[in-house]
Amino acid sequence: MAMRAVRRPMVRATLVAVVALAGSLPGPAGAQSPAAGDTWFDPLAPGTCYVLTFDDQGQVDFAQPPAALACDERHDSEVVALVPLGDGELPADADERSLAGCDAAYTAFLGRSIAETQIYPFTVWPDADDWAAGARDAACIIYGELIGTAASGDLRAPGEHIAAYWQPEETSDLWIIDGATGEPVTQLTDEATTELLGPPTWLPDGAGLLFGAQLSATDVDLYLVPADGVQRERLFVTGPGKQDGAAVSPDGTAVAYISNEAGGEYDILVRPFAADPAVAGTPITDHPERDATPRISPDGKRILFRRATAGVSEIWVMDADGADPVRLIDNGVDSYDPRWSPDGEHILFTTAAAGSMDIWTADADGTEARQLTDHPGAEEYPTYSRDGSFIAFQSDRYGAPTLWIMNADGSEASVLSGLGPIGYPSFSPAAAPD
């Protein structure tokens, strides 16, 4: 399907280009009365999605009643709630009642203040003509680049922190995100020319992170940055090709990564973590198509990875030295982003097996695969918390990527940071500092 072809370029461009998708929309005013009788209010009901009609001046055309469409289609508006305004005369403070009632409805629906997301409030209440025509409710509507319902729980991960790439302005940099609030708290990189190439990898003790970055047209390497962000970046691996996708062994002695040092497609290499930066790794795969995303098991004995075969990305596992590769997930469509659970008993991955890109789990041997998210947007890059109770992931249900969290069983999916673009999350193996 088309999603397979555009998935990686689409997501990467969102994180490294100058984007603010919802902020670039023309946008209705925050509070209005349509003055169009009940014909405009009639189609509105909680859970309704639609696309607004604008006039030549860029204002909402209230002469055109909203026409509902399926929420799994891209849309700009979703009705969150209706606020009853009474049955007598039109209240003189209808505007205040509407705004207050809708503000509470937005917070409950989104799991946090609407000001902490890239979605806008569009609160609409009746004027005298509308009231005479029978309109008795204010409509609480959210507006943005929406895919599927924007409803969210209010789940948080206190005591955890998450590394993620955040693009508040023109460039995307690596930050530490507070799991209790979703707030970016520590900036780790500040290279204006950096293209960040995938999820960062924590050192086993949580003292730093490895990440792949492109600092020029030809320089693609792995870098190490301390978790306190004091010492910005230092070169970790260099070579004639491109290096990316690192994973550090649980004892901190070895690092697995992908490289095309020998030319051609990427393979997985392993080298001592403390080796000289100029020392190349030892290849442990030799596949005619791409191998990528190595993830070392918690016991250090196996490596989870993805392998492209006949153009389809699948999830594989092999011994730590590259022996005995076994295909775990083969469902006929692309599967990405493999991760081990902290106890090594389960894996996470993303796949479009059910139509849209969603997060799945399976036993470590690939059996008992089960879908955890079911949303028409792209849900990807899952990461387990230290004890395996939470999963953080990236979603584009608000247009640009945002950071979400859910319980390990897939319940209570909640936006953790709606100030996108933000993505490529990775839970720290260490507790968040007090």
Averaged pLDDT for residues 271-294: 88
pLDDT of residue 418: 92
pLDDT in tens, 90-142: 999 999 999 999 999 999 999 999 999 989 999 999 988 889 888 899 999 99
Q: How sure is the predictor about 43, in pLDDT bands with cuts at 50, 70 and 90?
A: confident
- pLDDT-wise least confident of 71-85, 185-199, 293-307, 337-351: 185-199
Q: Running DSSP on this structure, what letter comes out for residue 54?
A: B
* Residue pair 335/313 in contact by the 8 Å Cβ criterion: yes
pLDDT of residue 20: 29
The pTM for the full model equals: 0.90
pLDDT in tens, 214-238: 766 666 788 888 998 877 666 665 5
Which CATH number applies to 161-427?
2.120.10.30
Rounded CA-CA distance 145/124 in Å is 19
pLDDT of residue 185: 93
pLDDT of residue 189: 85
| Among 342, 348, 311, residue whose Cα is nearest residue 328 | 348
Averaged pLDDT for residues 267-284: 86
* Residue pair 16/172 in contact by the 8 Å Cβ criterion: yes
Spatial neighbors of 237 by CB under 8 A, at least 6 apart, are 221, 222, 243, 246, 255, 257, 271, 277, 281
Rounded CA-CA distance 149/158 in Å is 26
The Cα-based distances of 256 to 202, 248, 267, 271 in angstroms read 13, 6, 10, 7
Spatial neighbors of 408 by CB under 8 A, at least 6 apart, are 384, 388, 389, 390, 391
Residue 14 has pLDDT above 50, yes or no: no
| Among 296, 309, 304, 267, residue whose Cα is nearest residue 284 | 267
- Pairing mode, strands 31-32 and 120-124: parallel
* Residue pair 390/370 in contact by the 8 Å Cβ criterion: no
Share of the chain above pLDDT 70, in %: 86
pLDDT in tens, 192-210: 555 666 789 999 999 999 9
pLDDT of residue 232: 67
Q: What is the mean pLDDT of the chain?
A: 86
Spatial neighbors of 140 by CB under 8 A, at least 6 apart, are 79, 80, 81, 82, 83, 101, 102, 105, 106, 121, 123
Rounded CA-CA distance 133/153 in Å is 36
Averaged pLDDT for residues 330-334: 90
Rounded CA-CA distance 370/360 in Å is 6
Residue 145 burial by Cβ neighbours in a 10 Å radius (0-12, 13-18, 19+): buried
CB burial of 29-64 (b: ≥16 within 10 Å; e: otherwise) equals: eeebbbebbbebbeebeeebbbebeeeeeeebebee
Cα 255 to chain centroid distance, Å, stands at: 26
113's enclosing H/E stretch is: none
130's enclosing H/E stretch is: helix 128-132
SS3 271: strand
* Residue pair 245/212 in contact by the 8 Å Cβ criterion: yes
- Bridge partner residues of 138 (DSSP): 83
pLDDT in tens, 313-325: 999 999 999 999 9
pLDDT in tens, 353-362: 998 999 999 9
Averaged pLDDT for residues 381-395: 97
SS3 39: helix
Q: Which residue intervals of the chain bear CATH 2.120.10.30?
A: 161-427
Q: How sure is the predictor about 21, in pLDDT bands with cuts at 50, 70 and 90?
A: very low
- pLDDT-wise least confident of 118-122, 260-264, 287-291: 260-264
262 vs 123, more confident: 123
Rounded CA-CA distance 373/311 in Å is 25
